[in-house]
Amino acid sequence: MTTTDTTDTTWATTLYSFTNELMEGAASPDELIQEIVSSGLATAIEVDAAQHFASFPAIDEDEAARTRDAIQRVGATPTMLGIYADIRIDSRGRRDQEELRMFVLRQLEAAATVGFFGARVGLGALSADFISSLIPDLERLDVKLLEEVQGGARPDSPAIDRHRELRARYDTESIGFVFDSSLVMAAFPVTWRDSLIASGATEELLSAADDLWRGRRPDAWTRLQALAEPLRLAPPALRRLEMPFRRFGCSQVAEWEDFLADTTSVHLKYWDLVDDDDRVSGPTREIRSALEATGYSGFVCSEWGGHDWLEADTHSAFAMTRGHRDLFEAAAPA
């Protein structure tokens, strides 16, 4: 579906949202793509290489071709392939640059085989020198390498500046950015809070987490750990408690308007659909307005991250994605 505002945006979804369904294994990743499209959730599809391909990281060409064929059979459009840069620190030692290059290149080749226009990687996962070495391959394969900016990143991040300098130096359109809306969260997800309370956290602890998160102190997580220590939370709860300092951002959309004008693709990250105080719809509406103001043209990809603590039997990714699409449509600028 294409949205109806004045921007040329196309709704997409990522199979990462369907992590719980993938783990259940009732359907293969390619079968899930067909079900997503046939159910009317989206006709533009992003996948995560490590989740999708059994042959990852080598990614067998025949397996990639089967995914291409599955997408084509239902008339869908492949958008981005989430890729990884595993430096491997173990008894064999760290990967050398040529090993890492081949590790990444195999994923880029799979992206080209399927027909993805872009390969998405975390901001800063690859050095500027390493990315520059990939530019001839990116141009040969006609695949863009897109660094995803998310969570607690800031518009003045040195990694963003390095990326822009690299692109200007080589005068290339083969590298770009993905804007992820986890950068601009208005508040903690309600179900995230509920899951932590159920795991033994207290309202006082979560209030302190909110203050530390909004204060952006570099030692925020260390301080919160000290406050949480007497509660003796289980490791999964502690990992979830750390999420505000790794995956939740509290910037304002206005701070990112210049960046949005320089963005190749957009991830609409959400964790649940509990919209108390417009905590989900508010940033979504502001993002849509900013995209319209910058004349953005491209995909807006729904990405549900709440499967980290919500189960498929109570929160089906199909229902969540459908609800998110409805919320996105309702948040169209006036």
Query: Is the CA virtual torsion 216, 186, 182, 166 positive or negative?
Result: negative
Model pLDDT, residue 255 = 97
Contact assessment for residue 32 and residue 71, using Cβ atoms and an 8 Å cutoff: no
Structure tokens at 121: 């990687």
Task: Say which residue the tokens 């079968």 belong to.
Answer: 31
Model pLDDT, residue 92 = 67
Model pLDDT, residue 93 = 66
Banded pLDDT at 18 (limits 50, 70, 90): very high
Contact assessment for residue 56 and residue 68, using Cβ atoms and an 8 Å cutoff: no
- CA dist 156 and 136 (Å) reads 28
Q: How does pLDDT run across 178-198, given as a tens digit for each residue?
A: 999 999 999 999 999 999 999
Overall fold of domain 8-188+248-330 = TIM Barrel (3.20.20)
- CA dist 59 and 121 (Å) reads 17
Mean pLDDT for the chain overall: 94
139-172 as b/e, with b when 16 or more CB fall inside 10 Å? eebebbbbbbbbbbbeeeeeebebbeebbeeeeb
Residues 6+ apart with CB under 8 A from 292: 5, 6, 7, 333
Average pLDDT over residues 91-110: 86
Could you say which DSSP state residue 26 is in?
Answer: S
Q: Where are the domains of the chain?
A: 8-188+248-330, 189-247
Model pLDDT, residue 333 = 74
Model pLDDT, residue 243 = 98
Q: How does pLDDT run across 188-225, given as a tens digit for each residue?
A: 999 999 999 999 999 999 999 999 999 999 999 999 99
Model pLDDT, residue 326 = 97
Residue 214 neighbours by CB distance under 10 Å? 12
Banded pLDDT at 89 (limits 50, 70, 90): low
Q: Nearest-CA neighbor of 27 among 331, 333, 317?
A: 317
Tell me what percent of the residues of the chain surpass a pLDDT of 90.
91
Model pLDDT, residue 99 = 87
Q: How does pLDDT run across 165-174, given as a tens digit for each residue?
A: 999 999 999 9
